[in-house]
Amino acid sequence: MRTIAIIGMGLIGTSLGLALRAADPQQAPLGAVHVVGYDQQHAHARAARGRLAIDEVARSLEAAVRAAQLVIIAVPVQAVQPVLADLAPLLAPGTVVTDVASTKGAVCGWARDLLPATVDFVGGHPMAGKEQAGPEAAVGELFQGAIYCLTPDARARAEALTLVEALVVSVGARPYFIDPAEHDAYVAGISHLPFVLSTALVAATSASPAWKEMAPLAASGFRDISRLASGDPRMHRDICLTNREALTRWINELIALLVETRESLAAEDAAALDAFFEQSKAARESWLASRPQLRPGEEQLDPPQAERPRWPGWLGGGKQKK
Amino acid sequence: MRTIAIIGMGLIGTSLGLALRAADPQQAPLGAVHVVGYDQQHAHARAARGRLAIDEVARSLEAAVRAAQLVIIAVPVQAVQPVLADLAPLLAPGTVVTDVASTKGAVCGWARDLLPATVDFVGGHPMAGKEQAGPEAAVGELFQGAIYCLTPDARARAEALTLVEALVVSVGARPYFIDPAEHDAYVAGISHLPFVLSTALVAATSASPAWKEMAPLAASGFRDISRLASGDPRMHRDICLTNREALTRWINELIALLVETRESLAAEDAAALDAFFEQSKAARESWLASRPQLRPGEEQLDPPQAERPRWPGWLGGGKQKK
């Protein structure tokens, strides 16, 4: 029986608890688990317990980690630093610590600076989420088939990696080992730039004096592209602040492309516009075709009879494990 | 029995045919109809006939409109001008002409210049669509509950308006009368800017040397925000070229917001980022709550347990008819 502490009973922490407790101990590489949950807001931990996401509510950080072999920090990225500082004196030698924050460079730096050499840190980032926040929104299936990035500290023991990898597989996700700086640069493009764009689109249109007349005309296209603007503002802010450099580079790319498009419009350059739309359509279709697997429910995100990605057996990349 | 000619058997033309032929003649304001279809590419018209979207395939534009009381031009916006020129000498006095193009200023100007005074023009734009093009992608339910913009020419007789309004209601959509210039400014923000942004995002990320490593990490958020980049490149190009001024204004707004965001990042201005994300989240949620009705299948576009818009009885705006 392994004891696992989850610090932070928000969407991800509670969903991890649900997934861990739903896993078959005979099948899941983590085996039988006892999950202890803690949240500064005690009501969140109680709600998680009410949803059977955890076996036990801890009243303090100390109580949460006392018997834990594995500690999962599932708080907003800006809160990871103080939590690591608070945890440092409480962790027994040999404890393995991981997190779920959306940026990894800052988090891995804090862990290196703050945690004692007797514990191992393996950064983590499940590529899964939804707009809604809090324990009520949690679902145990959230990680099924999702890529789960792991950025182990250079000092971490092999056993620590194996343990966190077992966690990932037990919740139904697929481990993807990656360097923290690479991780941050990549997710800035495919995750952080998208929510900035989605938010900017809503900001631009809804600030218009004509918004009241425009709004009824907006249909499913607007709905889809604006979906990320409904995400948690605090999480988005924290991600931006801990990934400023990579995100700024992507924002600059985007501005350059918008300026080019504006110039194509001014010049009535049909060929340039053709190339712009055709190349992106082809790139997206090739991306859809390369996707190894849709997560449950994702196929419903497409309109009826929409493009159906093919399902090749596995990812092309060489970094993928399991 | 009314004879209706549809010129252009693409997604919209064929879907209109399906919707018209599926409508109950006892209930639909248009009554019993005989639908004639024409497409420059004869195979498209044959495919539409094979799907029972039309009663009859016409071999020429002349044959298509010979007996028609109502002519629906359903070709890409740049092709509307030559089609209007070709139609002009063929139309019997009293014929009513409408179109389905996504921009209305240019189209209404062409109609005024090219059509004889003996026929009536009422511009139209159903706020419905999907990424796939061609008669194979057509669905008769495409317009159910959708807003259908109508921009009548000042010269059009009241009977012409009534006839086109009956068409809109017969296919399950809701007429929304609007000035062509207003229409173009509004849809530039809620429809054309979105597909430019979606395309620019795919262009930026897929052009990166790291795209091969990034692509597997992209998940449902990227998928939704990039969906519009899979639309018909030629249609997108034509829309851009016929709505250059309005679209350019929106692109400038977006660039300004991205520059502001970049400055907030550089200054580590958490309060500015908070305001940016919070205001847009609130604006989107208020938009979702105000939506009068989801079209069939749209509720599936949201992830499981996602925000559920409330369904007030009707649109707030005063322009809505029926």
pTM, whole model, 2 decimals?
A: 0.83
User: Which positions 107-126 of A are in contact with B (Cβ < 8 Å)?
Assistant: none
Mean pLDDT of A1-11: 97
**Tens-digit pLDDT profile for residues B140-186:** 999 999 999 999 988 999 999 999 999 999 999 999 999 999 999 99
Across the range A35-54, mean pLDDT stands at 97
Is B322's Cβ below 8 Å from some Cβ in A? no
Q: Which residues of B touch A221 (CB under 8 A)?
A: 129, 191, 194-195, 227-228
Compute the distance between CA of residue B94 and CA of residue B71 in angstroms, rounded to an integer. 11
Asked if residue B188 has pLDDT above 50, the reply is yes
Give the pLDDT of residue B292: 52
Confidence at B130, pLDDT banded by 50, 70, 90:
confident
B272 touches chain A (CB under 8 A): no
Instruction: Please check the confidence at residue A211 and state whether its pLDDT lies above 70.
Output: yes
Checking if the pLDDT of B310 tops 90, the result is no
Across the interface, of B201, B206, B301, the residue whose CB is closest to A194 is: B201
Contacts 24+ apart (CB under 8 A), A178-181: A178/A149, A178/A150, A178/A151, A178/A319, A179/A151, A180/A104, A180/A105, A180/A107, A180/A108, A180/A123, A180/A151, A181/A105
Output the pLDDT for position A260: 98
- Mean pLDDT confidence for A64-91: 97
pLDDT digits (tens, 9 = 90+) for B9-50: 999 999 999 999 999 999 899 999 999 999 999 999 999 999
Mean pLDDT for B232-247 is 95
**CB-based contact, A215 to chain B, within 8 Å:** yes
Alpha-carbon separation of residue B100 from B11, B14, B103, B148, B263 (angstroms):
11, 12, 9, 9, 42
Distance CA B69, CA B277 (A): 52
| pLDDT band (50, 70, 90) for residue B313 | very low
Q: Is the pLDDT of residue B79 over 90?
A: yes
Query: How far is the C-alpha of A110 from the C-alpha of A113, rounded, in Å?
Result: 5
* Whether B38 contacts B66, CB under 8 Å: no
Could you tell me how far CA A121 lies from the centroid of its own chain? 18
A139 pLDDT more than 90: yes
Mind telling me how many Å the CA of A90 is from chain B's nearest CA?
A: 31
- A82-91, B125-134, B151-160: which is most confident: A82-91
Task: Please check whether residue A76 touches B, CB under 8 A.
Answer: no
For residue A156, pLDDT beyond 90: yes
Q: Which pLDDT score, from 0 to 100, does residue A267 have? A: 98
Concatenated DSSP letters for B24-83?
-TTTSTT-SEEEEEE-SSHHHHHHHHHTTS-SEE-SSHHHHHTT-SEEEE-S-HHHHHHH
What are B30's two structure tokens? 């248009």
Provide mean pLDDT across the span A293-308.
Answer: 38
Average model confidence (pLDDT) across chain B: 90
Q: What values do phi and psi take at A234, rounded to 5? A: -70, -40
User: Is residue B24 classed exposed, middle or buried when 0-12, 13-18 and 19+ CB atoms within 10 A define those classes?
Assistant: exposed
Considering only CB atoms, which chain A residues are within 8 Å of B320?
Answer: 216
Reading the block at residue A218, the tokens are 């907006």
Q: Which residues of A touch B218 (CB under 8 A)?
A: 190-191, 287
Average pLDDT over residues A9-29: 95
pLDDT at residue B131, as a whole number: 74
Of the candidates A149, A210, A221, which has its C-beta nearest B228's C-beta? A221
pLDDT at A315: 28
Within an 8 Å CB–CB cutoff, is residue A179 touching chain B? Answer: no
CA distance B122 to B112: 10
Helix or strand (DSSP H, E) at B7? strand B2-7
Whether B145 contacts chain A with CB within 8 A: no
| pLDDT-derived band at A292, boundaries 50, 70, 90 | low
Residues of B in contact with A312 (CB under 8 A): none
What number is the average pLDDT over the span A124-145? 91
pLDDT tier at B305, thresholds 50, 70, 90? very low
Sign of CA dihedral A31, A32, A34, A40: positive
List the single best residue of A136, A191, A220 to mutate versus B (max B Cβ within 10 A). A220
Inter-chain CB proximity A265 and B248 less than 8 Å: yes
The pLDDT value recorded for residue A85 is 98
| pLDDT band, very low/low/confident/very high, at A297 (cuts 50, 70, 90) | very low
The reply to whether residue A274 touches residue B185, judged by beta carbons under 8 angstroms, is: no
Which pLDDT belongs to residue B128? 87
Beta strands in chain A (DSSP E): 2-7, 33-38, 56-57, 70-73, 96-99, 120-126, 147-152, 174-177
pLDDT tens digits for range A246-281: 999 999 999 999 999 999 999 999 999 999 999 999
* CA atoms A228, A233, A235, A241: torsion sign: positive
Burial class (CB in 10 A: 0-12, 13-18, 19+), A209: exposed
End-to-end CA distance of chain B: 23
Verify whether the Cβ–Cβ distance B201 to A204 is below 8 Å. no
B220/A301 Cβ within 8 A: yes
Of residues B245 and B131, the one with the higher pLDDT is B245
pLDDT of residue A14: 98
Point out the residue among B203, B262, B287 whose CB comes nearest to the CB of A276.
B203
Q: A125, A149 in Cβ contact below 8 A?
A: yes
d(CA A225, CA B131): 14
Q: What is the pLDDT of residues B189-224, one digit of tens each?
A: 999 999 999 999 999 999 999 999 999 899 888 999
Which residue of chain B is at minimal alpha-carbon distance from A290?
A: B216
* Integer CA distances (angstroms), B286 to A133, A174, B147, B308, in order: 18, 37, 19, 12
Q: Can you give the pLDDT at residue B132?
A: 83
pLDDT tens string B204-213: 999 999 999 9
Q: Smallest Cα–Cα separation from A28: which of A38, A37, A19, A17?
A: A19
- Whether chain B has a CB inside 8 Å of the CB on A315: the answer is yes
Is pLDDT at B243 greater than 80 in this prediction?
Answer: yes
> What mean pLDDT, rounded, does chain A reach?
90
CA A137 to centroid of chain Cα atoms: 15
**pLDDT given for residue B296 in this prediction:** 40
